[in-house]
Structure 1
Amino acid sequence: MKTLKITLSAFVLLFFASCDTLNQAAQVLGQTGLGNPTTSEISMGLKQALEFGTSSSADRLSATDGFFANAAIKILFPEEAQKVERTLRSVGLNKLADNVILSINRAAEAAAIEAKPIFISAVKGMTFSDASNILLSGQQDAATLYFKRVTSQQLADRFRPIIESSLQKVGATRYWADAINAYNKIPLVGKVNPDLSSFVTAKAIDGIFFEIAQEELKIRTRISARSTPLLQKVFAYADRNRV
């Protein structure tokens, strides 16, 4: 009888792994014997999820094409310099514009791995109250907003020198200077020269938070993403009790 109960529970979990109806999934999980987590398990479970999510995001974005091949976060010309890109392409300087875009994304990829220890430190410093509020929040990006609040300045401080160095290393500074100089030589255009380092730093940080938000949404809404018994227990409890 015990074996049959375990088998049925496993079947139900697999059945709902692809189900979008969280209320149904929560009810099923509640019947598997997982029960309500202790306060310690809530804290540990959320921290486990956040360490997984932030580490995988940093690893993914720091790989070659982590930014460049991701349409959602690919860094393009600064808004105030998009007229520069359009003008350069209109006069046949497509390669120069392409080099700028590729090189600034490579700089962001070089810096992304530095986010990992910052996020892990933020997770370790999270109180039970922080963890509980994030877990039971009605906001699907509550953890991401927490990270924005406590790590943004640290990320900017850590990213900027790396991005400045990388911009030099991959030739972005030279390509950028060439692009701006070529544009500024065109008759009757207004002179521009946005701060490239600040722009790429800000966009790299935006990209990191975007990816973390995707990871957070995944574990909140997909049972199949809850890869350990602790995560299953804690997030099933959240499904049943989210405000």
Structure 2
Amino acid sequence: MSGVLARTVETITGALRAVFAAERIADADGFLQRRDPRVALCALAALALGVVLTRTLGVALCFAALTAALARLSAVPLRRLFARSAVVPLVSALVVLPQAVLLPGDALLRVAGLAVTDAGVAYVLLFTVRVGVGVALLSLLVLTTPFSAVVAALRDLRVPVALVWVVAVTYRYLFLFFDELQRLVLARNSRTTGETGLRGGWRDARRIAGTFFLRTLDRGERVGRGMRARGGARPPSPYGRSRRLDAGDCALLALAGVAVVASGVMRWSP
């Protein structure tokens, strides 16, 4: 499967490896790195909720500025945070782009007989910013808190065990399946000469799809047996012990609480 699809698989695999290798930033001495994982999880989730509640672009931009400030205080490069958070809001903007001509309002310009309204443009911008800030907050949590600490925080917060299992197993083993696909692509490329086009790539993809499906099922069975052999039938236990909250933890919780309350008041106030 050389050609376009092979490069696509390699790009996806590289992106997943970058996601799972992001815990190196969690070792830095930053603001969020020093916070209790339970506090970081609750505070960033509350800020994401505040972004969802807002319905004005100015408030959403304030949340974006707050996210950028937290990133700077936590030694997270803004360029890297933006790169990790840009894809989802761009796709979301394309999904809601028709609202720019469907919502009634004052016409800003006319394109092919369609009027782009100010209300439609404002809706698209607000939706894109809200999605982008929410994804950035999630990325900030992943970058500044080791995943094992996130799992421990979920257990301490009494999140249902089944949900914790799903999150932990998905995080740990998703990239293994893409590694399996990359190995299949490498084996196919080692037996193929020349560059194939999109049609040839789809033909090769059909040929290896069944093999990939069978290998992923076999890998899943082996993973399950390995987990049961290591006591995986028991609920996941926290990887670290909780500590007492300090002033920074309380300040972060207070900031998140004030932001959520203010966002809710501004949304539902007459």
Same fold (TM over 0.5): no
TM-score between the two structures when normalised by the length of structure 2: 0.28
TM-score between the two structures when normalised by the length of structure 1: 0.30
